[in-house]
Amino acid sequence: MIHEQTVMTNDMPPSEAKSGLSAGKISTILAIVVAVAAFLYFDLGRFLSLDALKDNRDYLLSFTETQSALAAALFVLIYVAVVGLSLPGAVILTLAGGFLFGAVWGTLFVNLGATTGATLAFLASRYLLRDWVERKFGKWLGPVQEGFAKNAFSYLMTLRLIPLFPFFAVNLISGLTRVNVGTYVAATALGIIPGSFVYAYAGRQLGTINSLKDIASPGVIGAFVLLGLLALIPNLYKKWSGKPA
């Protein structure tokens, strides 16, 4: 794993970094804590599972067909909330996006929700949760900051294309680096397209399974092959680069 290095400061003005939290910042932090606590207390994660997707399949399809615009808007908003709050369930949501909207539209909606949520997490890390993120991920910050210093866009694209680190961790750690928001948004939006498409495509194919014989269809087999190849990318990267994860 990555060796611990000295935490580096980001591009926040010294006066802002040293000043106390304003009422607005405190309110925002409290809202984040309440939202995460509510997610855990009410066990909302049970709705972000394959079983829940399967059990509500007919209802979700019917609602999407009759209220397509509302369904798309709700899907994006839920995705933004899950990613922005660093909650589990993004993979299931991506599969659901492909299942409900198709591979292409599902990828588009996933990209919009994931990029927006990742940007919110990035900004929260930079301006609200700096101390907590440093304590949690400080050992990773040195190498990441070094990578950003060489070529921020290319380095972040690599982190998005090759899932060596958890998606939520990259969001939070990036907030403590000197990368600007525009570069972060662009690299994130482009870098997550391949992975989003693979999972959305798989979700679309898995949504067509009505019996065991459907599992042998070319589309479903192709989806599993793509998922397998995506899972091999980190190992191939380590082998070709000669670097440990």
The residue among 114, 131, 112, 141 whose CA lies nearest residue 25 is 131
Is residue 10 situated within a structural domain? Answer: no
Please state, for a pLDDT cut of 90, what percent of the chain lies above it.
47
Q: Residue 229 is part of which domain span?
A: 21-241
Average model confidence (pLDDT) across the chain: 82
1-19 pLDDT, tens per residue?
333 333 333 444 443 444 4
Per-residue pLDDT of 180-226, as tens digits, reads 999 999 999 998 998 888 888 888 887 765 544 544 567 666 666 66
The per-residue pLDDT for range 148-177, each reduced to its tens digit, is: 888 888 889 888 887 677 899 999 999 999
159 is a domain residue: yes
Q: How much is the pTM?
A: 0.81
Q: What is the mean pLDDT of residues 229-241?
A: 62
**Residue 4 belongs to a domain:** no
Q: Give a yes or no: residue 75 inside a domain.
A: yes
Beta-carbon neighbour count of residue 172 at 10 Å? 24
Residue 204 lies in a domain: yes
What 3 state SS string does 39-68 have? HHHCCHHHHCCHHHHHHCHHHHHHHHHHCH
Count of domains observed in the chain: 1
pLDDT at residue 71 tops 90: yes
What residues contact residue 149 under an 8 Å CB cut-off, 6+ apart? Answer: 178
In a domain, 59, yes or no: yes
Q: How far is Cα 65 from Cα 83, in angstroms, rounded to an integer? A: 26
